[in-house]
Amino acid sequence: MPASSFRSQTLPIRDYPAALEKIRTLQSAECAQPGFDPAQQSILLSHGQRTHRTVLWFHGYTSAAPQFQQLAEICFERGDNVLVPCAPHHGFRDRMSPETSRLKAGELLQFTNNMVDLMHGLGEEIVVGGLSMGGALASWVAQERPDVKTVVIISPFLGAKSIPPHLTRMVAYLTQLLPDNRQWWNPEMKEALSGPDYGYAQRSTHSLGQILKLGLQVADAARRRPPAVGDIWMVLNDNDHSVNNEIAERLTASWQKNGTKCVRKYYFPVSLGLPHDLIGIEQPGANPQLVYRELMKMVR
């Protein structure tokens, strides 16, 4: 992804009817794809007009918009307009879908940028959050979008737990040189993977590398200049066995070193035994009541 394409090129949509029409068009385009599951389309919870605050949630890799359904409803009941968009190449009915192998860093960046643009039509103040891959997208928003008030980054996939931080850049680029390797999330359960029925059973090394490339560019930018957003939360799970928290902590330290005072960290302790997906209510070991209560303190 060229460095020039990393920077935000904004086209905010400030009119509520125009934003609503674009979101409806997006939902229709999603459902028109062969094999797409309409139950996994982008979620819009709207009060029928612009609200003071509007919230954008980005779901995780191989997950789908319903991952954030309950948290979105809590925000909506509080009075916010809420959007949970379906990420590119996600939301297909077949849990063995190879779609995510086509994922590209530039495509994710454009998707993220477009969704933030849409939020202007839904409300005055924009809050953005995301989990895992969605956390990496939220990190980019924090670095590049000054029109956003608050960003909540949850267990961002900026590096894998199994890969030492100093090797992450090399691994990200090697995955693009080698043939794609589709791996089971759970080699024992395979397609009978426990958890939500909307999650894909396999991951693609090509797409994981693309997400890492985006995260690496965020980290590089953070070392050179402060983030665009003044209110940032980095939410980490000490029991997370998927993502590398050390890399997320380094990103936070870069932002703080550049003079940004409103970058705060929050840790869910290992004693809670929370899974990597601490948002989806269907996940074994999840504690959504506790997690949502803490996150809602940050969404303000």
Asked whether 210 and 103 are in contact (CB, 8 A), the reply is yes
Q: Domain segments of the chain: what residues?
A: 3-298
DSSP-assigned states of every residue in 196-224: -TTS-SEEEHHHHHHHHHHHHHHHHHHHH
Give pLDDT tens digits for 20-41. Answer: 999 999 999 999 999 999 999 9
Do 272 and 300 meet the contact criterion of CB atoms below 8 Å apart?
A: no
Listed in sequence order, the DSSP H helices in the chain are 3-6, 16-31, 69-77, 105-119, 133-144, 168-177, 205-224, 245-257, 288-298
**Which amino acid would we find at residue 203?**
R
User: Whose CA is closest to 3, among 257, 218, 159?
Assistant: 218
Helix (H, G, I), strand (E, B) or coil at 124: strand
Question: 128 CB contacts (<8 Å, ≥6 apart)?
Answer: 55, 56, 57, 58, 116, 119, 138, 141, 142, 145, 148, 150, 151, 152
Which tens digits make up the pLDDT trace of 57-84? 999 999 999 999 999 999 999 999 999 9
Q: Are strands 182-184 and 202-204 parallel, antiparallel or unpaired?
A: antiparallel
- Residue 70 is which amino acid? Q
pLDDT in tens, 217-226: 999 999 999 9
Q: What is the CATH number of domain 3-298?
A: 3.40.50.1820
CA-derived radius of gyration, the chain: 18
How far, in Å, CA of 161 to CA of 10, rounded?
34
Specify the pTM: 0.95
- Map residue 19 onto helix, strand or coil: helix
Beta strand 202-204 pairing with 43-45: unpaired
Segment 205-211 mean pLDDT: 97
Averaged pLDDT, 208-231: 95
Instruction: Write down the pLDDT at residue 1.
Output: 55
**Residue from 158, 159, 185 nearest 275 by CA:** 185
Give the model confidence (pLDDT) of 91-103 as tens digits. Answer: 999 989 999 999 9
C-alpha–C-alpha distance, residues 201 and 115, integer Å: 27
